[in-house]
Amino acid sequence: MFKRIALFLATNMAVLALVSIVLAVLQSMGVSVGNNGALLIMAAMFGFGGSFVSLLLSKWMAKRSTGAHVIEQPRNEAEQWLVNTVRRQAEAAGIGMPEVAIYDAPEINAFATGANRNNALVAVSTGLLRAMSRDEAEAVLAHEVSHVANGDMVTMALVQGVLNTFVIVLARLVGRVIDGYLSGNRDGGPGLGYYAIVFVLDMVFGLFASMIAMWFSRYREFRADAGGARLAGRDKMVGALERLAQTYGESTLPKQVQAFGISGAVGHGLSKLLRSHPPLEERIAALRNAPAEPVRGPVVAR
């Protein structure tokens, strides 16, 4: 956890240093970019602050938004099996025991979240418990435990923070340049045109930032599938994904945890660029084409 906090802070400092260099170069070329210090402070506060707060509150928000019931004392054999399976996989992956929960939803799905890989949450839908065999459900749980072991929640927050920072800085930087050009570099500060330009640039750059974030999210899914195959067995992981394919990637998960579900919405054409999950057929093909590995742990990405 301390290594990931250090990485978070180092990444933040590196982004701000890079932005400072870019702004200094532009100013040396005679481009007016305003108050660099205030811009960098605002970028740091809004760019990283929002993603970091969301990360810290992720477990609480996931429980509230899905109505998930955390299994504290198993009430039946199915709940006991869930807890035992997650405990065994967590030990193999080298992480602390996550909370295990069930939430009411019709589709086959599950998710993992939490700011700490030793204090996470793994939840499965009632639809998954009804539709999947034990082998398939075991593979889904292994996929989610792999997300936790890989530190995907923290890494996603880092990526989103970097992207948010660049969007904030670049939109205002480019907005000042365009506004200065259109107004003939008048004195007196930015006018209404500047704020309109920045608003449009926030939307445009934000769209490209979302594409980058979703590309990384899709990469995480392939890695979690591979980790699930190592923990539960490749045949079980392939079987679980084939079962998921029968639901056409449906998901009723709230937006804040959709990227961490095993199943996501299906996209076609350019819309695939804004999807958090790759097509299931690609995930299945990647597993089948991967070299065979023994079932073992840990699956932690260093």
Please give the pLDDT value at position 125: 92
Please give the pLDDT value at position 302: 32
Instruction: Please check whether residue 279 is in contact with residue 265, taking contact to mean a CB–CB distance below 8 angstroms.
Output: no
d(CA 241, CA 32): 54
Q: Which of 99, 107, 136, 144 is catalytic?
A: 144
Please give the pLDDT value at position 264: 63
Q: What is the pTM of this model?
A: 0.77
- Angle at 57 (CA atoms; ends 53, 61), nearest 5 degrees: 130
Going from the C-alpha of 190 to that of each of 130, 172, 186, 200, the distances in angstroms are 59, 11, 9, 16
Please give the pLDDT value at position 246: 78
The segments of the chain whose pLDDT lies below 50 read 1-5, 8, 295, 297-302
d(CA 222, CA 286): 8
144 is catalytic: yes
For 48-70, the pLDDT digits (tens) are: 777 777 788 888 888 888 889 99
Please give the pLDDT value at position 267: 58
Please give the pLDDT value at position 1: 42
For 175-213, the pLDDT digits (tens) are: 877 877 777 666 555 667 778 888 888 889 888 888 888
